[in-house]
């Protein structure tokens, strides 16, 4: 009863805030608060009703899902040494913290009973979503003995993703929005290399275009490899310092990138530093980002000796860039339908070097496991639930955690703006741009 009164009291306070919005909104806007993006309808109506549903159904949900345990199980002694244990009649559910509201849902903290592991809570996520009638439930365990339940009541990834101007730094790209309502940032400083996978027309190229749009405004050199004739990356040829549209050009471009890595290594060794970021700003080389669309085109071959050697050379060069480029300001963003051992002997080793993972819609479980299985195994099931109509929606890793996100749609006007932007001066690559107009 007390919990219900608190919920409705909070709703009343929020109602007062909405009625006086015309008074306090301009004052908060002057101080930089994004008040117009606050979901008042969710806080006033959805949040109290959903929290009430959680509090009233939690005990029964925990019992049916196997989350409730008994501290003192029943025991009866029969005969000499035979003990018969019965099932506890009054199991105790884990204690819930108060639901902390977010932009599109709320979070809960649970303390595990002695002997419990988070595995049962991971398995019960779908049961929670159905019982509470919410869009999505994600369970994480940030530390021992604690489970955090992230509830997304309404799907924020529907409709167009608006453009935003978050506070980003060099090599940090704002490419869309996460299911928490926050900007989706691909930060190459914290995670140097990224792998983007997904089925055909799932949103890989749109995400690459969003990355190019965000990085084109920064002092960063961009080079592209698009062995599908430059159909995707060729649209941004005006901003790219180099563009390869076949494997021969790709080998030359990757070889120049490896030479640039060696040159930066000698520069850091002479200066006595371990990374280019420790160099003085006026002596620091320009960051280099290598974009690859459809990675499989670099690995597949027709069986001839020369074609097989070219594919192996591409795999070797990409692996060397991934292993050596992180501290030297050289980064990889690779996109493909799937990246497994079937591509070649070095594909698996390359995948192990790509710490950032993005998985769009996958037609089979193996493709999702190749991308997320070794970093976030519990995210594989979520990636498989992405429907055909959810283009641009993906599961992405953020460190040891993962989240659903959606990249923004790049319009033809955005493409024209990118094409009119001059490439950043960069002397490391001498590869001529391939002719993508033919």
End-to-end Cα, the chain, rounded Å: 73
Contacts of 383 (CB under 8 A, 6+ apart): 359, 360, 361, 362, 368, 371, 372, 394, 395
What token pair was written down for 393?
A: 């929606």
* pLDDT on residue 383: 84
Element (H, E) at 264: helix 247-271
Sheet holding 100-101, edge to edge: 100-101, 105-111, 146-152, 136-143
Could you count the other beta carbons within 10 Å of the beta carbon of residue 384? 17
Element (H, E) at 265: helix 247-271
Query: Domain for residue 428, yes or no?
Result: no
End residue of a domain, out of 152, 182, 198: 152
* pLDDT on residue 435: 41
Residues of the chain under the 70 pLDDT cut: 1-44, 71-90, 158-168, 398-400, 424-438
- What single string gives the DSSP state of each residue in 352-399? HT--EEEE---SSHHHHIIIIITT-TTHHHHHHT--TT-TTEEEEEET
Q: Are residues 71 and 202 in the same domain?
A: no
Number of folded domains in the chain?
Answer: 2
* Tens digits of residue pLDDT in 122-177: 888 889 988 998 888 888 888 888 999 988 887 777 655 555 555 568 899 999 88
**How far is residue 255 from each of residues 353, 361, 415, measured CA to CA in Å?**
19, 33, 29
Q: Are residues 298 and 346 in the same domain?
A: yes
**Dist CA 194 CA 397 (whole Å):** 10
User: What is the Cα 359 distance to its own chain's centre?
Assistant: 8
Domain encompassing residue 334: 172-419
Q: Are residues 289 and 318 in the same domain?
A: yes
Query: Domain for residue 435, yes or no?
Result: no
Q: Are residues 126 and 205 in the same domain?
A: no
Q: Are residues 92 and 203 in the same domain?
A: no
Q: Are residues 373 and 317 in the same domain?
A: yes
Q: Are residues 26 and 59 in the same domain?
A: yes
* Tens digits of residue pLDDT in 193-225: 999 999 888 889 889 999 999 998 889 999 999
């Amino acid at each position: 009863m007390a919990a219900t009164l608190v919920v409705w009291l909070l709703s009343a306070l929020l109602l007062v805030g909405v009625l006086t919005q015309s008074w306090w909104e301009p004052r908060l806007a002057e101080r930089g608060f994004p008040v117009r993006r606050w979901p008042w309808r969710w806080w006033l109506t959805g949040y109290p009703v959903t929290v009430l549903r959680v509090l009233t159904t939690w005990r029964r949900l925990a019992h049916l899902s196997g989350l409730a345990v008994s501290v003192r199980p029943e025991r009866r002694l029969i005969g000499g040494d035979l003990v018969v244990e019965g099932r506890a009649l009054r199991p105790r559910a884990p204690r819930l913290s108060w639901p902390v509201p977010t932009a599109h849902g709320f979070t809960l903290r649970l303390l595990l009973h002695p002997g419990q592991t988070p595995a049962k809570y991971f398995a019960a996520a779908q049961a929670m979503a159905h019982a509470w009638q919410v869009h999505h439930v994600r369970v994480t365990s940030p530390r021992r003995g604690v489970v955090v339940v992230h509830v997304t009541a309404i799907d924020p990834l529907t409709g167009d993703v608006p453009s935003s101007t978050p506070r980003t730094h060099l090599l940090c790209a704002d490419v869309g929005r996460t299911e928490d309502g926050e900007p989706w940032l691909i930060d190459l400083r914290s995670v140097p290399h990224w792998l983007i996978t997904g089925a055909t027309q799932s949103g890989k190229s749109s995400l690459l275009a969003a990355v190019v749009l965000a990085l084109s405004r920064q002092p960063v050199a961009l080079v592209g490899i698009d062995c599908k004739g430059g159909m995707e990356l060729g649209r941004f040829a005006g901003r790219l310092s180099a563009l390869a549209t076949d494997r021969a050009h790709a080998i030359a471009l990757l070889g120049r990138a490896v030479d640039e890595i060696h040159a930066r290594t000698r520069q850091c060794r002479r200066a006595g530093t371990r990374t280019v970021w420790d160099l003085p700003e006026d002596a620091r080389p320009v960051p280099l980002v290598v974009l690859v669309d459809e990675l499989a085109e670099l690995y597949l071959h027709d069986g001839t000796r020369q074609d097989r050697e070219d594919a192996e050379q591409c795999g070797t060069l990409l692996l060397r860039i991934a292993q050596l480029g992180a501290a030297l300001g050289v980064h990889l963003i690779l996109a493909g339908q799937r990246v497994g051992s079937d591509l070649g002997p070095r594909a698996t080793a390359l995948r192990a070097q790509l710490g950032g993972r993005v998985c769009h819609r996958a037609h089979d479980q193996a493709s999702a496991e190749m991308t997320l299985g070794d970093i976030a195994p519990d995210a594989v099931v979520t990636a498989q639930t992405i429907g055909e109509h959810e283009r641009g929606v993906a599961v992405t890793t953020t460190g040891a955690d993962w989240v659903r996100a959606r990249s923004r749609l790049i319009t033809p006007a955005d493409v024209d703006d990118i094409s009119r932007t001059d490439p950043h001066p960069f002397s490391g690559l001498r590869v001529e741009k391939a002719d993508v107009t033919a």
